[in-house]
Amino acid sequence: MDVSMSATCPGRYCGRIIVNGSVEGDCGVCPHGERTNSDKVCERCTESPELYDWLYLGFMAMLPLVLHWFFIEWYTGKKSSSALLQHITAMLECTVSAVVTLLVSEPVGMLSIRSCHVKNLSDWYTMLYNPSPDYVTTLHCTQEAVYPLYTIVLIYYAFCLVLMMLMRPLLVKKIACGLGKSDRFKSIYAALYFFPILTVLQAVGGGLLYYAFPYIILVLSLVTLAVYMSASEIQSFKSLVEKKKRLVVLFSHWLLHAYGIISVSRLDKLDQDLPLLALVPGPTLFYLATAKFSEPSRILTEGGSGH
């Protein structure tokens, strides 16, 4: 392979294309599904995603589902028995969308994807690393260097939106008879707002989310768990077990917390990382053990008696 001329390519992501085993053409953007190597030659992405890549995709796939559940509960959870069926439908929509997204991605028809590994944060923002304007020939080498982690999320959101528009209105119209006409479709209207927000978030902040999502999960799981526990006024673990809904919410928080721990550790060293999962119920046990000491009414009573 002749790569003697490839070193003259400017910019971080400009390269030459390989045709019939030899490097041909001028420097430019690599075709979709390829990225430049150290010799400034475009290479096809043939690697399998790492565990961390799959965890990132899982996080981005969970965002619409969690938001669906939140708004379904917010608008219909206390007013209609149809909330559970809507929760199940939302999960079905996201699951089918994820499967279809994998099937249409390369290799087509298989529940797997080929990718290029992420090396730097700049790989997510190649448009910021085009050659300088004073170069002899203006080059635009913007490409998906993190193929397919950038576009596959956007494709998934598109399928989620399409399936929701096909399935949810008919379902809500039939089962949400206990709600007013103005309330029946509010959870759907909410999705029409948050899907564009998620799309912009991925388009602009995908690289930042890639590196920050484990810590976002840990913080959000702790904050939401604390808010839920305090709002539920849980006095003992026994009373929690008696309420199945609260128990399901608790286990969901534990799974989310475990997901965050696995994402942070990446399970590089199993003998050291797996014991960290024992920390998952820690925040709940800590709250149950200290709730009686931090109860507002008790603090105000003891503070008043001190005077």
Give the sign of the dihedral formed by CA 249, CA 93, CA 169, CA 187.
positive
Residue 186 corresponds to which amino acid?
A: K
Q: Which of 19, 41, 43, 44 is nearest to 28 (CA)?
A: 41
Q: What pLDDT band is residue 233 in, cutting at 50, 70 and 90?
A: low
Tokens at 254, concatenated? 């534990």
pTM confidence score: 0.84
The rounded distance, in Å, linking the Cα atoms of 192 and 199 is: 11
More confident residue, 35 or 184: 35
Strand partners, 115: 47
Three-state DSSP class for residue 100: helix
More confident residue, 10 or 77: 10
Q: Write the CA distances from 74 to 67, 70, 87, integer angstroms.
A: 10, 6, 12
Q: Where are the beta strands (DSSP E) in the chain?
A: 15-19, 22-28, 34-36, 42-44
The rounded distance, in Å, linking the Cα atoms of 62 and 84 is: 18
**Is a pLDDT exceeding 50 seen at residue 235?**
no
Lowest mean pLDDT among 131-140, 222-231, 246-255: 131-140
Q: pLDDT, tens digit, for every residue of 182-211?
A: 566 788 889 999 999 999 999 999 999 999
3-state DSSP helix/strand/coil percent for the chain, to nearest 5?
65, 5, 30
Percent of the chain scored above 90 by pLDDT? Answer: 28
- Residues 52, 27: contact at Cβ < 8 Å? no
pLDDT of residue 12: 83
Tokens 């045709």 -> residue: 19
